Amino acid sequence: MKQIKKLIIFTLVCLTLTSCNSKTTDTTNDTSENPTANNDEPQSRDVFAMDTYMTLTAYGNNADEALNEAEAEIERLDALLSTGDENSEIYALNQNGTGTISEDTEILLDESEKLYTDTDGVFDITIYPVMDAWGFTTQNYRIPSDAELTELLKNVDASRIQYNKDEKKVTLPDDVKIDFGGIAKGYTSSKIMDIYKKCKVTSGMVSLGGNVQLLGAKPDGSSWRIAVQSPDDTNDYLGVLEAKDKAVITSGGYERYFEENGTTYHHIIDPATGYPARSGLKSVTIVSDDGTLADGLSTSLFIMGKEKACDFWKEHSDKFDMILMTDDNELYVSEGIADVFSSDLTTNIVKK
């Protein structure tokens, strides 16, 4: 009998002065009702969008205004980038095979192209039809045949996307469809940071599923403490990272999966095989100034596996750091964050 499981979880649990999950409403101070609220008290907002539970937290006189704008921005980007919403720009592009794109889509297309090149095709937004065949886009899970995957993989190649920058027009080859799901949440969290800064928020964070992005430090000047969840136990964590002004984004096969005949099939698809990646890694956490980059790399390094991920980090160590957990329960941390990451587990330091 087929068993289907889907976990909607916060991969990163925020250890702050107050809670940073769906319970933050217990400590929220609404400035619309309490205009003299202390600047050190957080304003929080819970949102469900992009198939993810999100929590926004901000400090400062304009925190409530910032949260209103951030929530509106999340809803706008969700409507713009959804592959399932018939009114979205991406849905129309996939259906028509061509179209004029917005500034946001142009940015995401450019970032996707860079990631595709840097990862040698591991990050590929044209994997969408393969994801759909597995049912991860609809939750109608199934195991595609080898023949079906072979046929679908013929059209997985982001380098074939044509883009006329002058006309802002994208043209997709026949049977090619795209999905920015691999970087959309990271891009969204970065946009929220821009809103926070514009509204002069002094400290803040956003948690979008497995994505956490931080603005500044906590109000007392100390670093935020982010617990990186264990891929084996949603009530446990691998360790705690101290960070300021960073995106901390985790990917793992435990986030979304189904089981059939005793085998687990997760949603992180290897574009080289069309099957869920079996790289020897359970989870990958990326720490970077850039939320979009961190989002894309968390998935890409998961597919690469430990050795290739470490080599990739050595070549790009100026842009990100990483935390890897292997199937053998070995923990690897890049040296750039080794001094600010603590764990009860034995930690292997990856050096340049």
Annotated binding-site ranges for Mg(2+): 182, 295, 299
- For 9-35, b/e burial (b = at least 16 CB within 10 A) is bbbbbbebbebbeeebeeebeebeeee
Q: What single-letter DSSP state applies at residue 269?
A: B
Which tokens is 22 given? 């769906």
Alpha-carbon gap, residue 269 to 300, rounded angstroms: 10
Alpha-carbon gap, residue 277 to 269, rounded angstroms: 5
Q: Alpha helices of the chain — where are they, by DSSP H? A: 63-81, 89-96, 103-118, 128-134, 146-153, 184-198, 291-304, 306-315
Alpha-carbon gap, residue 116 to 44, rounded angstroms: 36
Q: Which of 215, 217, 211 is nearest to 188 (CA)?
A: 211
Which tokens is 80 given? 């713009």
Helix, strand, or coil here: 57?
Answer: strand
Alpha-carbon gap, residue 324 to 330, rounded angstroms: 8
Q: What single-letter DSSP state applies at residue 172?
A: P
Instruction: Report the relative pairing of strands 169-171 and 43-49 from DSSP bridges.
Output: unpaired
Which residues contribute to the annotated binding site? 182, 295, 299
Which tokens is 323 given? 């935390």
What are the DSSP E strand ranges found in 32-73? 43-49, 52-59
> For tokens 């005949």, what's the residue?
261
For 240, what's the count of Cα atoms within 13 Å in the CB-facing half-sphere? 8
